Amino acid sequence: MEYFLQQLINGLTLGAIYGLIAIGYTMVYGIIGMINFAHGEVFMISAFIAVISFVLFGMIGIATVPVMLLLVLIISIFLTSAYGWTVERLAYRPLRGSNRLAPLISAIGMSIFLQNYVQLLQGARVKPMQPIIQGGFTLAERADGFVVSISYLQIFIIVLTTIMMVAFATIIQRTPLGRAQRACEQDKTMAALCGVNVDRTISWTFLLGAALAAVAGLMVTLYYGVVDFFMGFLAGMKAFTAAVLGGIGSLPGAMLGGILIGLIEAFWSGYVSVQYKDVAAFCILILILMVRPNGLLGHPEIEKV
């Protein structure tokens, strides 16, 4: 039971990170019906921004952890959002109105470009970082000495994810931007006729998705303490899997899918084999989609005639 509880904590932590990245995928798909394959690379860039910021703050003598975390979080969100906005302007907006294949190819090209861009600027080697947040709480201890614990970092990740989800849900449900996003999701032409600036709404959608990816990038940097230029591919694929599993286009579904993927990885690693945890996640995705093709919280698309 103690081991199960420890894997549950680890899975929830990992799932929170996947969920934040998955929301970026599902938002873009919900509004413009396109998979943004460069989103994983935006997440990777945010992790590099976090590492560079930590190093710079360490060099100038800012050692107070809460202050440093807040500053790095603000800088990561600001710069990563700028990347998300730029990607949309350069790679997707010029193809608005073309067939769906063109932006898909553009997204893949942008993903490869960003990988090589970071590789050229930062090198191919991994970038390690010293732990910033250490310590935690002991929840239980088994007779053989196994200790169930939750670290301060895991608490920080889960609490920050919850705050981001509440803030994001408020933006979607209660702000003019959220209403514009929901209008564009239903019918972009009708939304434009009603006065909604569709291009600006899509740009804000990319910007918000990149901001959530920035938070996830900071969490991964703190959690694993190492970043590399290829980390966005696998994390992006898992987050995309989470979005599909929860029902792509559904924001609660994206977070649910992320948590499920995190739990599957943690329990598979703990009870079966850590080498095949990625395979397990994708196999379970296939099994669920065979039963529910639209995902757990997705709705079937109604084609208008």
Contact between 53 and 72 (Cβ < 8 Å): yes
Least confident range of 17-21, 57-61, 300-304: 300-304
What pLDDT shows up at residue 111? 87
Mean predicted confidence (pLDDT) in 281-300: 76
Confidence at residue 299, expressed as pLDDT on a 0 to 100 scale: 67
Is it the case that residue 297 has pLDDT exceeding 60? Answer: yes
pLDDT at 296 over 80: no
* pLDDT score, position 294: 75
Q: Kindly state the percentage of the chain with pLDDT values over 90.
A: 2
Give the residue from 261, 168, 262, 150 showing the smallest Cα distance to 212: 168
Going by pLDDT thresholds of 50, 70 and 90, the confidence category of residue 110 is confident
| ∠ Cα 16 21 22 (to 5°) | 90
Average pLDDT over residues 154-162: 86
pLDDT tens-place string over residues 87-97: 888 888 888 77
Q: What is the mean pLDDT of residues 38-52?
A: 89
What was the pLDDT predicted at 303? 55
pLDDT computed for residue 301 by the predictor = 61
- Beta-carbon contacts of 231 under 8 Å, excluding residues fewer than 6 positions away, are 44, 47, 220
Query: 300: pLDDT confidence band, cut at 50, 70 and 90?
Result: low
**Average pLDDT for 50-54:** 90
Say how far apart CA 4 and CA 37 lie, in whole Å.
Answer: 34
Q: Which among 107, 118, 117, 113 is positioned nearest to 47, based on CA atoms?
A: 118
The two beta strands, 127-128 and 226-227, are antiparallel
Does 304 have pLDDT greater than 70? Answer: no
C-alpha pair distances (Å), 47 with each of 73, 104, 150, 210, 235? 11, 25, 23, 12, 12
pLDDT at residue 305 tops 70: no
Task: Tell me the mean pLDDT in the region 184-204.
Answer: 85
Most confident of 26-30, 221-225, 236-240: 221-225
Q: What is the pLDDT of residue 302?
A: 57
Identify the band that residue 140 occupies on the pLDDT scale cut at 50, 70 and 90: confident
pLDDT at 23: 81
